[in-house]
Amino acid sequence: GQQVMQIPQYQHVQEGEDFTTYCNSSTTLSNIQWYKQRPGGHPVFLIQLVKSGEVKKQKRLTFQFGEAKKNSSLHITATQTTDVGTYFCAELQTGANNLFFGTGTRLTVIP
């Protein structure tokens, strides 16, 4: 089956450090979505990016969609322990019916 590449798989940071996760596709995307899953919880929608080069911010989180609409990133500034969890990108390829979820980046924040 299709796998959406997300890097890194794991990231450990000290509280206060920044964190970035990347999602890459070999094909052009209609849109990309980001989800967060807390340990033991379910994925929760964070944001959707649609336009080429789009940048959106949610407090300390910054989301970017590449100019070619083939990649995306999520950057967290000054991580806090509440940021702990797994961050997934989900891609909607042009012409496809469904999202394909990345394998996720598991973030651990050390207090």
Partner 1 sequence: DAGITQSPRYKITETGRQVTLMCHQTWSHSYMFWYRQDLGHGLRLIYYSAAADITDKGEVPDGYVVSRSKTENFPLTLESATRSQTSVYFCASSPGQGLPQHFGDGTRLSIL
Q: Give CA 71 to chain center in angstroms.
A: 10
For residue 59, state whether it binds partner 1 (rule: CB under 8 A): no
Which of residues 9 and 80 has its CB atom nearest to partner 1 in the complex?
9
State residue 22 phi and psi, 5-degree precision. -125, 145
Tell me how far apart the alpha carbons of residues 75 and 18 are, in angstroms, rounded to a whole number. 7
Q: Which stretch binds partner 1 (CB under 8 A): 20-28, 42-50, 59-67, 73-81?
A: 42-50
Of 13-21, 30-38, 52-60, 69-77, which part binds partner 1 (CB under 8 A)?
30-38
Residue 71 C-beta: closest distance to partner 1, Å:
17
Residues contacting 78, CB < 8 A, separation 6+:
16, 17, 18, 60
Q: Tell me the CA distances in angstroms from 42 to 9, 59, 95, one per residue in order.
A: 18, 22, 27
| The binder of partner 1 chosen from 27, 28, 30, 81 (CB under 8 A) | 30
Which residues make up the interface to partner 1 (CB under 8 A)?
Answer: 1-2, 4, 6, 30-31, 33, 41-45, 48, 88, 90, 92, 97-104
